A and B are shown apart, each in its own frame.
Chain A
């Protein structure tokens, strides 16, 4: 640890904080359907899309129609992406002549990008053509993020409206999210990225003759455009296998800064948008405060763990100043690796700028635990906000039980119907993670894919299903996941984590929207106070995290004890 390291972390979080209000206020305008400075350019495109697609933007949908539209959109997205992945050999812009993906790998990859997970059982540089990267994968970096934003908007309106039967129009919300929020930011960021060194070309590769006379083939591609939306949409799927550790995806400390800011920007600002739309900006800030507390705690833990280094390595005479450098790049430093690792997992991004599997046991435990808390800190674009609201609803319910009053959130009574759906949504994650991990841990073919022995092997399995069900996408990459078993079960985990969560949440939204919004009275538990923030943090830790402790004790915690005792596997 160093003063400068802490300074870098503080500066980055400050910049992320400054972005929240302007971006959040802009999005509130966009989603209210108001004109913005981009309307003259984007308005006609938007109208044309509605005409061609047969969408009546004025017609609102109830929760069921909204949900079915969302599911239909994702189904068609999955089918087209699966087709592209299988058929890429016959499609244009494939100068390397990559063959189509196998059925199970294409299934896994298509589900992965449609669900905003971006788990990658393939290496971009040796398996995905430029066409696949652009017209297949990057499209879903936009659309999966827009899907998440649309669902979050429906939930927002449920609280903002009183005795309403509709939640908005899915097609309009998805279109406006893409055109007015994701696209303009992606264009600006992509161009800045090129200026800072990210390649952007349709060439496949260039061959260099090194100073010592050897040949080195260097892959190129439309990397900057992909990287920009990968961060803004909290997708995380890299152009290359090494993701944002790769110097072409993340060439310098300044691009690393921009990467982290980009991934934090929209998802944090959406919470502000929520507050503004429901008429309580303070509510937005209270939710942001709760996420910030846990995110900062995560960053601090990773930074301390990684700068402490690995005792058995240090014992060989390594200078301890740099900390644990296996799997890390020189240009970033431990502080920025810690922020990246905690942020990418707290917000469901899943890109990495250092290999998490080589982190110290506790440094690796934190990212895994942050995903297990439910990807709500502040989570994926949209999905983080609606997940956070589920936890807020749980918190007022628990508070209501403690003081013996009917729980209310933003003037809406929380009753048994909402609680049942909320509990169902929250239990999906541990079910998918722990059940699949338990089976994989006794299945010989699943164990053969491990890259490390001992407790770290279990951590690799646990991390994989955590990442899939949490729709994160990062990995302890020692695991060779491109097998029929992992491709299939991880894809099922991703589907459950996305849709078995989103559908009950939309059902809650439908039920909440129909209730009359009541004014706060003396008996109302205020939900924008430090007391509420503290309770929310506690509920997230208890409801979100506690069930994983037995599994974590056998994985990272056992590994930590082994490491301190000097045991190797």
Chain B
């Protein structure tokens, strides 16, 4: 065993240098130089102000904005410093009550008909930046009214922001809430 200690100590230290410092720092260097937008977090800007990351969901509560999914992060929803889901079981009374409350809120905000599942459930990350196109369409009436726009105009913006499946196969159609709301803000 003792004979093995020297190679053990040496290899652990050497590979800490290679895998733990050289590798991530080299990737950081190349990434920052060639792909700064992605490397720094895909930030969205309004002029000079950073308004968020297009990849990270954020809270919207005003009627004139589309709302994201419920979020289970603590202490408030969409706390990017504490990602996570509710981890509540399908047989959980607490989860049942939460979904019931989310359904009430969805109806109060003007939702009607079949309830899009993503509109009343929390995501696994608590930071889901997207909603389904059905969820977005269920909010058009409220947003149009608050903005004084016609429903058709708002629907047009929604349709333009639906991101479809890659090659028509991979992934699911979704709408990025931040991009959609920024697009709406730029409609005059």
Contacts and interface: CB of A to CB of B under 8 A. Distances in A.
B101 to A, nearest CB: 11
Nearest to A361: B90
B166 A330 contact: no
A364 B63 CA distance: 38
Given A202-B28, A242-B85, A330 B131 contact: yes
Q: Identify the interface centre among B69, B165, B172: most chain A CB within 10 Å of its CB.
A: B172
B140 interface: no
B86 interface: yes
Interface string B37-54: 011111100100111110
B12 A76 contact: yes
A535 B76 CA distance: 53
A19 B9 CA distance: 35
A348 interface: no
A317 B106 CA distance: 12
Interface residues of B, number: 99
A55 B38 contact: no
Q: Identify the interface centre among A229, A319, A353: most chain B CB within 10 Å of its CB.
A: A319
B41 A218 contact: yes
A371 interface: no
Contacts of A136: 20
Contacts of A65: 4
Interface in B6-47: 6-16, 18-21, 23-24, 26-28, 30-32, 35, 38-43, 46
A285 B33 CA distance: 43
Interface stretch (A186-194, A427-435, A542-550): A186-194
A80 B16 contact: yes
Chain B binding surface, main DSSP class: mixed
Nearest to A359: B90
Which of under 10, 10 to 19, 20 to 34, or 35 or more describes the interface residues of A? 35 or more
B122 interface: yes
A73 B90 contact: no
Interface in A380-400: none
Nearest to A247: B55
A241 B84 contact: yes
Contact of B182 (A186, A191, A211, A214): A211
A138 B118 contact: no
A330 B132 contact: yes
Contacts of B181: 211
Given A212-B65, A248-B56, A253 B117 contact: no
A322 B116 CA distance: 8
B20 A569 contact: no
A216 interface: yes
A253 B164 CA distance: 11
A163 B131 CA distance: 63
Interface string A526-569: 00000000000000000000000000000000010011000111
Contacts of B122: 326-327
Contact of B86 (A326, A332, A360): A326
B83 A240 contact: yes
Interface string B107-151: 000000011111011111111111110100000000000000000
User: Which 7 pairs between the two chains have the least Cβ-Cβ distance?
Assistant: A253-B171, A245-B124, A53-B10, A135-B20, A333-B172, A242-B83, A456-B89
Given A126-B82, A143-B15, 15 more contacts: A72-B1, A72-B8, A141-B19, A194-B31, A197-B55, A199-B41, A202-B28, A226-B24, A246-B83, A316-B103, A323-B117, A452-B87, A456-B91, A559-B90, A563-B91
7 contacts: A77-B12, A200-B39, A208-B43, A245-B124, A251-B42, A317-B114, A352-B124
